[in-house]
């Protein structure tokens, strides 16, 4: 393997990326905008307004419940009205003048546990969960005030880190890993496809260059930009820079200020290893594409399953049993877990789980590099 | 029938094809081709589009594996990575990087061939008259200028064997004359040059022609020899006569 040729390839790839402004924007600006947007949505998302309608079918005992329920719901910021029957209440939900119906049954106050029905619109299952939760919380409060039994206070503690009410804490490591992987894959795939279709790979293969030198040069070229990208994302995700007020602009802070329990450099190593694998994956998949659009078309096949099965959105343990083994063969799973180990658990190199993540990511990077180099053949150039 | 040509000194031929064949499924792109090409001469592969010229050049340059037979260049059986250092290859497409400057492209290919960049780059760019555009991005060059750069990159390591696949396509007449004059100077210096073309009027510039049709060499000789053998004054008519004979002999 010639160091001179590998460095020449690296320099050429770097020069091309440097002059490709849309690619630079994709690498450096897109992850910051997207992580910023996700954080803003999760942190500042609005709690849905609860507009409850109570249908009392239990006459006098129900009146006591209605009154207590109204007080409990209004204390949580809900509006409360009543309706004479279920049909009327449902029509109110249908025309959006109410969001939830609480039906107090005829047998309320008699022996045995009553069944209280909560009715929602049904068009927005995730949003309606908060309506049902608000109704349940108010009903528990009513039950405790009527029976005189104070419900227990629940205290949440964690084995690793400290419990955080910041919803982005768990997502941040996964997002950092995903964006580094995703954008590096797209850029390498498209770049190498141009090499194949533009006739330059044909010409390159007519020189004494080896496959290893090509993969090495590309990995170095994209690796350098991936390192800058990851450094930038990490600074953005972990940092908090306060900008003092200037004239009419009030003081504000730049950076998501997410806390990291471990060494950020270790997190950096995890992401770089994942990005190295993405370079070779891009080279490999460009073999099967004829146009740049086709490289994009691989995203639903190669990237989206990793996004769904690698613990970015759903914990691997909650996946159906049939799908769980798939997460073990996806590099992103190890990148996401590795980053969570460092961010949340504060793991260092003595932690076995992190060692496994780093080893597997290194293995994937080497495996993909070998597979990618096999696709660069003189007779398919 | 193709005839074998030995080098003037009786040494080994610079390029040799022995029963060379390449199939793509049922298509015989190159069909049992045998010839020897000696150094210091320009050989023209002439034939219509799709006749197998590019596949033949790719086989000789070691860019694709033969289905049968083999190719030798400078005594080495192709593909041979070490021999590639001594081969220049100009592809049909420009095969240069549009995002790099003229000089960066030349330097890059010089590095790939392992030659010291400064002198070689300087000389090659001067040769194709692009020295004054060295800092221009290749993507901003005209088609003819990109073709010139492509040639500069193919000869930057001064190879003794040069494969040129349709080098003058899209090149204006004046530049075409310059290209051929340069090819002649290389051949005079001992290089073996194989040029593919479907333009018959370029044939007279070659020392020897190989008519290619349906993957076969249907005739070989100088332009005059081929016309005389075909009994025509026109090379295109000669090609058609040989093609007809080849068809009849099947």
The owner of tokens 């109410």 is A98
A378 touches chain B (CB under 8 A): yes
Percent of chain B whose pLDDT exceeds 90 = 48
Alpha carbon A300 to chain centroid distance? 16
Report CB contact under 8 Å: B89, A20: no
Which one of A200, A205, A206 has the shortest CB-CB distance to B97?
A200
What is the phi/psi pair of residue A95, to 5°? -95, 15
Residues of chain B with pLDDT below 70 are 1-11, 117, 250
What is the reported pLDDT for A375? 81
**Residue B118 and residue A3: Cα distance in Å, rounded?**
19
Question: Which among B73, B97, B120, B147 is the top mutation candidate for probing chain A, defined by the most A β-carbons within 10 Å of its own β-carbon?
Answer: B97
**Residue A98 contacts residue A109 (beta carbons within 8 Å):** no
Q: How far is B103 from A15, CA to CA, in rounded Å?
A: 13
pLDDT digits (tens, 9 = 90+) for A343-381: 888 888 999 999 999 999 999 999 988 988 888 765 533
3-state secondary structure of A105: coil
- Cβ–Cβ contact A74 with B under 8 A: no
Q: Are the CB atoms for B73 and B15 separated by under 8 Å?
A: yes
At A277, phi and psi to the nearest 5? -65, -35
Residue spans of the domains in chain A: they are: 3-43+167-375, 51-147
Range ranked top by mean pLDDT from A108-117, A119-128, A131-140 = A131-140
Kindly determine whether residue B153 and residue A379, on different chains, have CB atoms separated by under 8 Å.
Answer: no
Burial (CB count <10 Å: 0-12, 13-18, 19+), residue B47: buried
Q: Which residues, numbered 164 to 193 in chain B, qualify as contacts with chain A under a Cβ-Cβ cut-off of 8 Å? A: none
Residue-wise pLDDT tens digits, A141-189? 888 887 777 777 777 777 776 666 677 777 888 888 888 888 888 888 8
CA distance B96 to B145: 11
E strands of chain A, at which residues?
Answer: 51-56, 79-83, 100-104, 117-120, 241-243, 252-254
Helix (H) or strand (E) holding A172: helix A168-197
Q: What is the residue-wise DSSP string for chain B?
A: -------TTS---SEEEEEEEEEETTEEEEEEEEEEE-TT-EEEEE--TTSSHHHHHHHHTTSS--SEEEEEETTEESS-HHHHTTEEEE-SS----TTSBHHHHHHHHHHHTT--HHHHHHHHHHHTT-GGGTTSBGGGS-HHHHHHHHHHHHHTT--SEEEEESTTTT--HHHHHHHHHHHHHHHHTT-EEEEEES-GGGGGGSSEEEEEETTEEEEEE-HHHHHHHHT-S-HHHHHHHHHHHHHHH-
Q: Does any CB of chain B come closer than 8 Å to the CB of residue A194?
A: no
Place of tokens 């090379």: B235
* pLDDT at res. B160: 94
Q: Which of A4, A12, A378 sits opposite B97 (nearest CB)?
A: A12
Distance from CA of B236 to the nearest CA of A (A): 30
pLDDT of amino acid A363:
94
Looking at the DSSP bridge assignments, the partners of residue B24 are B27
CATH of A51-147, one of 1.10.10.60, 3.40.50.620, 3.40.1710.10, 3.40.50.880: 3.40.1710.10
Report how far residue B55's alpha carbon sits from residue A233's, in angstroms, rounded to the nearest whole number.
48
- Asked if A373 and A214 count as a contact pair (C-beta separation under 8 A), the reply is yes
Interface contact A206-B82, CB threshold 8 A: no
**Residue linked to tokens 């609005």:** A46
Residue B16 phi, psi (nearest 5): -140, 135
Contact residues on chain A for B96, CB-CB shorter than 8 A: 200, 203
Token digits for B93? Answer: 């497409």
Which residue in B65, B91, B97 is closest to A202 by CB distance? B91
- pLDDT one-digit tens code per residue, B100-109: 999 999 999 9
CB contact under 8 A, B96 and A8: no
Q: For the complex shown, is ipTM > 0.90?
A: no
A315–chain B nearest CA distance, Å: 43
A98, burial (CB in 10 Å: exposed 0-12, middle 13-18, buried 19+): buried
- The pLDDT score that the predictor gives to residue B22 is 93
CA distance A269 to A176: 12
Whether A227 and chain B come into contact, CB under 8 Å, resolves to: no
In chain A, residues with a C-beta closer than 8 Å to the C-beta of B30 are none
Rg (CA), chain A: 28
Q: What is the per-residue pLDDT across A16-47, written as a single tens digit (0 to 9) for each?
A: 989 988 888 888 888 888 888 888 888 777 77
Checking if the pLDDT of A305 tops 60, the result is: yes
Q: Which of B61, B81, B104 sits opposite A208 (nearest CB)?
A: B81
What pLDDT, on the 0 to 100 scale, is given for residue B2?
38
pLDDT in tens, A223-277: 888 888 888 888 888 887 777 777 887 777 777 888 888 888 898 899 899 988 8
Q: A190 vs chain B: nearest CA distance in angstroms?
A: 14
Q: A80 pairs with which residues across the strands?
A: A52
Burial of B231 (0-12, 13-18, 19+ CB in 10 A): exposed
End-to-end CA gap in chain A? 20
Residue pLDDT, tens place only, A79-99: 999 999 999 999 999 998 999
HSE-up of residue B120 (Cα within 13 Å, Cβ side): 22
- Residue B242 tokens read as 């040989």
Count, residues in chain A: 381
Give the closest-approach CA distance of A373 to chain B in angstroms. 16
Q: Which of B65, B91, B111 sits opposite A203 (nearest CB)?
A: B91
Burial of A113 (0-12, 13-18, 19+ CB in 10 A): exposed
> What percentage of chain A's residues is helix, strand, coil (to nearest 5)?
65, 5, 30
């Amino acid at each position: 393997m010639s160091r001179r040729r590998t460095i020449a390839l690296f320099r050429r790839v770097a020069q091309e990326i440097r002059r490709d402004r849309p690619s630079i924007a994709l690498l450096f600006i897109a992850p910051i905008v997207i992580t910023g947007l996700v954080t803003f949505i999760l942190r500042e998302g609005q709690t849905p307004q609860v507009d409850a309608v109570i249908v009392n079918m239990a006459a006098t005992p129900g009146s006591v419940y209605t009154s207590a329920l109204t007080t409990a719901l209004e204390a949580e910021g809900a509006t409360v009205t009543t309706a004479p029957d279920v049909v009327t209440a449902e029509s109110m939900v249908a025309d959006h003048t109410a969001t939830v119906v609480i039906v107090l049954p005829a047998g309320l106050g008699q022996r045995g546990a009553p069944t209280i029905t909560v009715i929602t619109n049904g068009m927005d299952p995730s949003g309606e969960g908060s309506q049902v939760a608000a109704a349940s919380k108010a009903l528990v409060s009513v039950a405790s005030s009527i029976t005189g039994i104070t419900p227990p206070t629940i205290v949440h503690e964690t084995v690793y880190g400290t419990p955080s009410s910041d919803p982005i804490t768990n997502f941040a490591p996964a997002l950092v890993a995903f964006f580094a992987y995703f954008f590096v894959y797209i850029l390498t795939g498209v770049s190498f496809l141009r090499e194949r279709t533009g006739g330059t790979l044909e010409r390159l293969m007519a020189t004494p260059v080896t496959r290893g030198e090509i993969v090495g040069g590309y990995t170095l070229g994209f690796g350098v930009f991936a390192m800058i990208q990851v450094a930038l994302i990490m600074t953005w995700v972990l940092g908090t820079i306060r900008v003092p007020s200037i004239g009419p602009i009030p003081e504000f802070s730049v950076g998501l200020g997410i806390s990291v329990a471990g060494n950020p450099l270790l997190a950096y190593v995890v992401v770089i290893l994942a990005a190295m694998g993405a370079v070779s994956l891009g080279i490999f998949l460009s073999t099967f594409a004829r146009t740049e659009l086709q490289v994009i078309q691989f995203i639903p096949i190669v990237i989206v399953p990793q996004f769904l099965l690698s613990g970015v959105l759903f914990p691997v343990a909650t996946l159906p049993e049939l799908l769980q083994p798939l997460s073990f063969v996806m590099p992103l799973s190890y990148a996401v877990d590795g980053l969570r180990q460092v961010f949340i658990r504060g793991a260092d190199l003595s932690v076995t789980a992190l060692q496994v993540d780093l080893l597997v990511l290194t293995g994937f990077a080497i495996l993909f590099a070998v597979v990618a180099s096999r696709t660069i053949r003189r007779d398919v150039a | 029938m193709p005839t074998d040509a030995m080098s003037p000194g009786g040494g080994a031929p610079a390029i040799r094809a022995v029963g060379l064949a390449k199939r793509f499924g049922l298509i015989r792109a190159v069909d049992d081709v045998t010839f020897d090409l000696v150094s210091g001469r320009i050989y023209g592969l002439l034939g219509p589009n799709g006749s197998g010229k590019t596949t033949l050049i790719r086989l000789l340059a070691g860019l694709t594996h033969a289905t049968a037979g083999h190719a030798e260049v400078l005594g080495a059986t192709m593909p041979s990575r070490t021999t590639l250092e001594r081969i220049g290859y100009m592809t049909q497409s420009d095969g240069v990087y549009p995002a790099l400057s003229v000089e960066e492209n030349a330097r890059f290919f010089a590095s790939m061939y392992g030659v010291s960049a400064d002198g070689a780059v300087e000389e090659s760019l001067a040769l194709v008259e692009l020295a004054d555009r060295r800092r221009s991005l290749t993507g901003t060059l005209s088609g003819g200028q990109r073709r010139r750069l492509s040639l500069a990159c193919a000869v930057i390591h001064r190879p003794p064997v040069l494969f040129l696949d349709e080098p003058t396509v899209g090149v204006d007449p004046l530049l075409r004359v310059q290209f051929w004059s340069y090819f002649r100077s290389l051949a005079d210096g001992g290089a073996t040059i194989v040029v593919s073309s479907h333009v018959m009027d370029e044939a007279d510039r070659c020392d020897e022609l190989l008519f290619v049709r349906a993957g076969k060499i249907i005739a070989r000789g100088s332009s005059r020899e081929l016309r005389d053998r075909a009994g025509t004054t026109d090379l295109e008519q000669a090609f058609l006569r040989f093609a007809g004979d080849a068809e009849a002999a099947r």
